[in-house]
Amino acid sequence: MEFLKELWLFLRIRKKLWLAPIIMIMLIIGGLLILAEGSVVAPFIYTMF
C-alpha cells in the first residue's frame, strides 16, 4: 500500500500521471512473463538499469 502511495506521489510530482495506466499494463505483462519463463536472469551485455 505504501508502495502505491509513493508511486502515485512520484507520478504527481513528476507530472507523469499518464504513465500510471502504462505501468499497470507493464506490471501485468511483467507478471505474466515471470509465470511463463520462471527465471528472471537477464543475459544483457549492458543492462541500462
Partner 1 sequence: MYLLGISAFYHDSAACLIKDGNILAAAQEERFSRKKHDAGFPHNSIIYCLNEAKITPESIANVVFYEKPFLKFERLLETYLAFAPKGYTSFAKSMPLWVKDKLFQKSLLAKEMTKTLGDDVNWHKKFLFSEHHISHAASAFYPSPFDSAAVLTLDGVGEWTTSALALGKGKGLKIEKEIHFPHSLGLLYSAFTYYTGFKVNSGEYKVMGLAPYGEPKYAKLIRDNLIHVSEDGSFQFDMSYFNFATGLTMTNKKFDSLFGGPPRKSESSLTQKEMDIAASVQKVTEDIVIKIAKYISKETGESNLCLAGGVALNCVANGALFREKIFENIWIQPAAGDSGGSLGAALATWYLHYNKERKIYKRSDSMRGTYLGPSFSDDEIEAELIACGAKFKKLTERGLIDKVAVALADEKAIGWMQGRMEFGPRALGSRSIIADPRSPFMQKQLNLKVKYRESFRPFAPSVLREHVSEWFEYDEDSPYMLMVATVKEHKRYSVTEEEESLFGLDKLYVKRSSVPAITHVDYSARIQTVHRETNPLYHALISKFYEMTGCPLVVNTSFNVRGEPIICTPTDAFKCFMGTELDALAIGNYLLIKEDQNITLKENYENRYELD
Quote the least distance from Cβ 44 to partner 1, whole Å: 5
Cα distances from 8 to residues 14, 23, 42, 48, 49, in angstroms, run: 10, 11, 28, 24, 21
Positions that interact with partner 1 (CB under 8 A): 3, 6-7, 10, 14, 16, 19, 22-23, 26-27, 29-31, 33-34, 37, 40, 42-49
